[in-house]
Chain A
Amino acid sequence: MIRVVLPAHLRTLARVDGEVQLDVAGQVTQCSVLDALEGRYPVLAGTIRDHDGGRRRAFIRFFACEQDLSHEPPDAPLPEAVASGAEPYLIVGAMAGG
């Protein structure tokens, strides 16, 4: 079970409270987690990464295990602690004012 934490505006949009828990088939990567997330909550498509090409939106960051994974390859395995559910995968709005 993968634990995902969304920024507040996206929790509201997806109508969820707290963490999202996802089953991810196969290797646990940023891409497979986001695919599963958008599969469960289609309204999030286009709000975290582009519809076409999957490019991360500029003001969205990905963190886990106290590391910034925003610039890691989307198909690279996530840390074991995320894959096992011990640690959440954090989708964060960049601190850019607002």
Chain B
Amino acid sequence: MSGVRVLVGTRKGAFVLSSDGKRDRWEVSGPHFAGWEIYHVKGSPANPDRLYASQTSGWSGQVIQRSDDGGKTWGPVGNKFAYDGTPGTHQWYDGTPHPWEFERVWHLEPSLDDPDTVYAGVEDAGLFRSADGGQTWQELPGLREHKSGPSWQPGAGGMCLHTIILDPARPGRMFAAISAAGAFRSDDAGETWRPVNHGLQSQGIPDPDAEVGHCVHRIAMHPSRPDVLYMQKHWDVMRSDDAGESWHEVSGNLPTDFGFPIDVHAHQPDTIYVVPIKSDAEHYPPDGKLRVYRSRAGGDEWEALTSGLPQEHCYVNVLRDAMAVDSLDDCGVYFGTTGGQVYASADAGDHWAPIVRDLPAVLSVEAQTLP
């Protein structure tokens, strides 16, 4: 019988949650790498037993861990992330130039077809690639060296490259998103990049519709329709129907259009999910009610999903990499909170139940569908 493995990164370690296809009883393993911040754990689509984890610490820096047995055992691989050449400066919060310095890996994106190839999005914003299972890392400097790079500035969480999307239909096309620079697209396997932010409007920057400077929180794509992108921006939920060439707002009737994650149903490319958060100053759900919002129309028309979620006194956040879907026939949806809960729905969001309630603050959630 098929099953699901949910990979959870937290402030104090990684956890692996496993279930059969019913998704009503879960085994919990962990903490792995106890005491370290685990920004992201993700499995290879080509070999689900190959996992990569970003393990970081303010004291000891970056470690990358790899598992070849689905998370039962792990071993450290390469942790040297050296920018290509002299990296120069970006803008600091106060607008002054600040040297580009590696801080941590926010996101790991394994190749669609080669378990040994994996991309890493890092802070300060840069894109790295390993072709040897994480042993060595080389920067794809074309992104950081874009002419707009010196004007990029960090979001509140740092100047992180947090989203990497590989287009399954057009080899060589990939998307990256940076807080707070915006969305970028490459059509040549990451050699060269250009901003794709036309249509975004952001307050808090001198030119609200500037080419770069937008605090994109997350982008999602359905693999069957790679020209359609959905974006949760600092404020605004956005949609592009032309691979990022232009964006239009689809916030519609959401109670607030601030938030972090956005994801797409595994089998319905027009069904998308967000978790509205009150505001940039108050990072918790409006009215103390934890509600996932689902649109079945690709945006604009949203319904609140509340069954099984706390509807009073709830003041957690859901971070940008902390939502995922599985691809079982009845699509499973998962998200983790800064309060340490990981919620699961085995019916596309209609009903929710916590898998675990008391983990450290959840930084990332990924779901693997197993044969």
- Which A41-61 residues have C-beta < 8 A from chain B? 43, 45-48, 51-52, 57, 59-60
**Are A96's CB and B58's CB within 8 A?**
yes
Is B208's beta carbon under 8 Å from chain A? no
Q: Count chain B CB atoms within 10 A of each CB in A46, A57, A94 and give the residue with the most.
A: A46
- Given A7-B59, A48-B60: 9 more A-B contacts, CB < 8 Å: A10-B60, A45-B80, A46-B61, A47-B57, A47-B63, A51-B80, A59-B58, A93-B60, A96-B58
**Are B57's CB and A9's CB within 8 A?**
yes
A-B contact pairs, 6 of them (CB 8 A): A8-B35, A46-B62, A47-B57, A60-B60, A93-B59, A94-B59
Residues of chain B with a CB closer than 8 A to A46's CB = 61-62, 79-80
**Are B60's CB and A47's CB within 8 A?**
yes
Residues of chain A with a CB closer than 8 A to B57's CB = 9, 47
In the assembled complex, how far is the CB of residue B14 from the closest CB belonging to chain A, in whole angstroms? 14
Q: Count chain A CB atoms within 10 A of each CB in B59, B60, B79 and give the residue with the most.
A: B59
- Which B66-84 residues have C-beta < 8 A from chain A? 76, 79-80, 82
Residue in chain B with minimal CB distance to A7 = B59
In the assembled complex, how far is the CB of residue B143 from the closest CB belonging to chain A, in whole angstroms? 21
Of the residues A12, A43, A52, A57, contact of B59 by C-beta under 8 Å = A57
Give CA–CA (A93, B62) in the complex, Å.
15
Is A73's beta carbon under 8 Å from chain B? no
A-B pairs, 10 with minimum CB distance: A47-B60, A59-B59, A93-B59, A43-B76, A51-B80, A46-B79, A47-B61, A46-B61, A59-B58, A9-B35
Is A13's beta carbon under 8 Å from chain B? yes
Residues of chain B with a CB closer than 8 A to A43's CB = 63, 76
Give CA–CA (A8, B59) in the complex, Å.
12
Is B235's beta carbon under 8 Å from chain A? no
In the assembled complex, how far is the CB of residue A83 from the closest CB belonging to chain B, in whole angstroms? 26
In the assembled complex, how far is the CB of residue B128 from the closest CB belonging to chain A, in whole angstroms? 14
**Are B82's CB and A57's CB within 8 A?**
no
Of the residues A51, A52, A57, A96, contact of B60 by C-beta under 8 Å = A57
Give CA–CA (A13, B76) in the complex, Å.
8
- Which B12-29 residues have C-beta < 8 A from chain A? none
What number of residue pairs across chains A and B have CB atoms under 8 A from each other? 44
In the assembled complex, how far is the CB of residue A60 from the closest CB belonging to chain B, in whole angstroms? 6
**Are A9's CB and B76's CB within 8 A?**
no
Give CA–CA (A51, B62) in the complex, Å.
11
Residue in chain A with minimal CB distance to B80 = A51
Q: How large is the interface on B (under 10, 10 to 19, 20 to 34, 35 or more residues)?
A: 10 to 19
Q: How large is the interface on A (under 10, 10 to 19, 20 to 34, 35 or more residues)?
A: 20 to 34
Of the residues A13, A57, A93, A94, contact of B63 by C-beta under 8 Å = A13
Is A98's beta carbon under 8 Å from chain B? yes
Residues of chain B with a CB closer than 8 A to A93's CB = 59-60
Residues of chain A with a CB closer than 8 A to B62's CB = 46
Is B36's beta carbon under 8 Å from chain A? yes
**Are A57's CB and B61's CB within 8 A?**
yes
Residue in chain A with minimal CB distance to B75 = A43
Given contacts A9-B35, A9-B36, whether A45 and B79 have CB atoms under 8 Å apart is yes
In the assembled complex, how far is the CB of residue B138 from the closest CB belonging to chain A, in whole angstroms? 14
Give CA–CA (A11, B35) in the complex, Å.
13
In the assembled complex, how far is the CB of residue A81 from the closest CB belonging to chain B, in whole angstroms? 26
Give CA–CA (A13, B36) in the complex, Å.
11
Give CA–CA (A92, B34) in the complex, Å.
18
Residue in chain A with minimal CB distance to B62 = A46
Residue in chain B with minimal CB distance to A47 = B60
- Which B262-311 residues have C-beta < 8 A from chain A? none
Of the residues A8, A13, A51, A98, contact of B58 by C-beta under 8 Å = A98
Residues of chain B with a CB closer than 8 A to A94's CB = 59
In the assembled complex, how far is the CB of residue B115 from the closest CB belonging to chain A, in whole angstroms? 22
Give CA–CA (A96, B60) in the complex, Å.
13
Residues of chain B with a CB closer than 8 A to A47's CB = 57, 60-61, 63, 79
